[in-house]
Structure 1
């Protein structure tokens, strides 16, 4: 095993959370070896599974002054230049941005408008190491390198569970439908961020930012919503139906004119397309206004035909007398316009 006079770690990918030098086991060090810790890093010395000390950014020469615990654990038969085996762990403190999350399967939600709706959610988040010792002891263990990809699957599982709970609770408390969630992304992101922080802290990580970028609904529900919007835009179901009929006529005309066999049909339909669309889009004829029904006990004026009460003696529209004519001789009722009494034959003119 080679003697390490210089210990450092460079991350070419930017995705490493923690790395051990050397990666395959303990290295041979000695007092006087140097350790370079760059900005955004911390270095931890460990021996026999025990963390001895932490070095901050800078160039450090290993002496009993900066790692005093080594003296208690080492026996140096040849003086301070004797080599000893130790592990050096570098922890990356930079933020890891634009990490993506999403629901692999639709999540059923109880909806105030549609009953049950299946939604999918997607977004991004940012993390960084907050407690290096907790990360090394509870997550990294004996691995030589630990990256964001190694912990991302576990983080994604927590995110999906917490986000589903937050959205369901949000919809239940505010009686919202899935179509209303597009205006709630900021508030939902803040609520999900607060719910997820303890899960990340348990791994020694900090969830610095969390975003819900989109919440989608099934395609069949989107199609139905588009139809409802079309009906409303056309002023109701009747107007929407007539518009779709005109649209179908236009498609038929274009399809009929696409071949020689259908040229005649297409031409005929095309010539009449304007009239057909005009009639299809014309307002539906309104039914005639209902005439007022005659009231019980009412009668009609013989002059103008207006309806008047049965007890009326004159018409309230034309003023004509409504009294029944009588024979001057026998006083029998006679029909209006009669020339002779039907009872006694007396002339009425």
Structure 2
């Protein structure tokens, strides 16, 4: 004989649970007079045949026909006060889930017209909080027949929605702001994400309470890592590879760190590389007598083979040839060989 539950409750604090079904497997046999105990931070939803029916807020409730009208209608005329009935009882946590973490698993690619390479590669992290707003909608659309639904089951989906909106907001803002200005607008950007994602959260019965950006900065990944992630075309990759090489060379020669700081965020790569080459060969980037600029890299040959140019940029010879064939580096072809002038290389580096 099926067990009839006279008292139904779930006293757990539900710190990492959003939904807990009673019982976890199967369905509950109830009757008129059964007690439903709902704690302050909970809501109870009755389900039957896959349909969300009656619900109870915090308190101690005695089941009578008046407070389960939808369930009674579904059971039909065969029901009477002595007849047990079956239902699925879902406890839903209505409390705020605070201090949830988010972070960018890979750099966010943002176009930044007129600034260096014209792109920004940004990484960030922060926290957010949310709560269930519509218990019936959340259980119906997300939880389904699961006996227990935890934070780990939903956090990946929420982070995906948040990062998608963050990328949209960064792209919109970068159209009128420099990267340096973007990094200083974390509060405004966070508010924008919060407003933009609310409809997506509401569609699954959730409410985003807060979204904070604790840190936003240019990516520190190398050009090689970014290329492997498919985030750079050949032209951008070659320029960033050269910048990485110059930074490393400057450190080795006592030039100090930070030579190319901000290049990953698209900040003035052409000027940085030119100045770096000049500084490494002992020349000045300032104005010279007669108003002309001193040529970059006096130690660099005036005419170079692709192999020699690759050595200057610290890339492969194949990368140089590919850039020549793409028309990105100007070169003369003699038979099957290419020759590149120092001026052409400097022009390429300036973008």
* Shared fold per TM-score greater than 0.5: yes
Do residues 139 (structure 1) and 139 (structure 2) align? no
* Counterparts of residues 68-217 of structure 1 (less than 5 Å): 68-72=69-73, 73=75, 80-111=81-112, 112-115=114-117, 116-174=119-177, 176-177=178-179, 179-217=180-218
Q: SS where residue 259 of structure 2 aligns?
A: helix
Q: SS where residue 65 of structure 1 aligns?
A: helix
Equivalent residues of 2:54, 2:71 under 8 A apart = no
- Residues 289-323 of structure 1 show CA distances to partners (whole Å, capped at 9, x for unaligned) of xxxxxxxxxxxxxxxxxxxxxxxxxxxxxxxxxxx
Deviation at 1:173?
2.1
Indicate how the Cα distance of structure 1 residues 164 and 70 shifts in structure 2: closer, same or farther if over 3 A, else same.
closer
Partner of residue 6, structure 2:
5
Do residues 226 (structure 1) and 258 (structure 2) align? yes
- Residues 190-231 of structure 1 show CA distances to partners (whole Å, capped at 9, x for unaligned) of 1111111111111110011111111122336998682378xx
* Counterparts of residues 251-290 of structure 1 (less than 5 Å): none
- Residues 11-42 of structure 1 show CA distances to partners (whole Å, capped at 9, x for unaligned) of 34512222211111211111111100111211
TM-score by length of 1: 0.60
Cα distance in 2 between the residues matched to 1:184 and 1:148 = 30
Cα distance in 2 between the residues matched to 1:128 and 1:135 = 11
How many residue pairs get matched?
235
Deviation at 1:75?
6.0
Deviation at 1:180?
3.1
Indicate how the Cα distance of structure 1 residues 228 and 64 shifts in structure 2: closer, same or farther if over 3 A, else same.
closer
TM-score by length of 2: 0.60
Note the residue ranges of structure 1 that are not aligned, 5 or more in a row: 230-236, 246-349
Indicate how the Cα distance of structure 1 residues 63 and 109 shifts in structure 2: closer, same or farther if over 3 A, else same.
same
Equivalent residues of 1:74, 1:84 under 8 A apart = no
Note the residue ranges of structure 2 that are not aligned, 5 or more in a row: 223-239, 248-256, 262-274, 283-351
For the pair shown, the structure with the greater C-alpha radius of gyration is 1
Cα distance in 2 between the residues matched to 1:35 and 1:161 = 41
Larger helix share, 1 or 2: 2
Deviation at 1:127?
0.6
Indicate how the Cα distance of structure 1 residues 227 and 16 shifts in structure 2: closer, same or farther if over 3 A, else same.
same
* Counterparts of residues 11-26 of structure 1 (less than 5 Å): 11-26=12-27
With CA pairs under 8 Å and 6+ residues apart, which has the higher RCO, 1 or 2? 2
Partner of residue 297, structure 2:
none
Deviation at 1:70?
4.1
Q: SS where residue 86 of structure 1 aligns?
A: strand
Equivalent residues of 1:18, 1:92 under 8 A apart = yes
User: What RMSD in Å do the two structures reach over aligned CA positions?
Assistant: 3.1
Indicate how the Cα distance of structure 1 residues 204 and 69 shifts in structure 2: closer, same or farther if over 3 A, else same.
closer
Deviation at 1:6?
0.9
Equivalent residues of 1:42, 1:91 under 8 A apart = yes
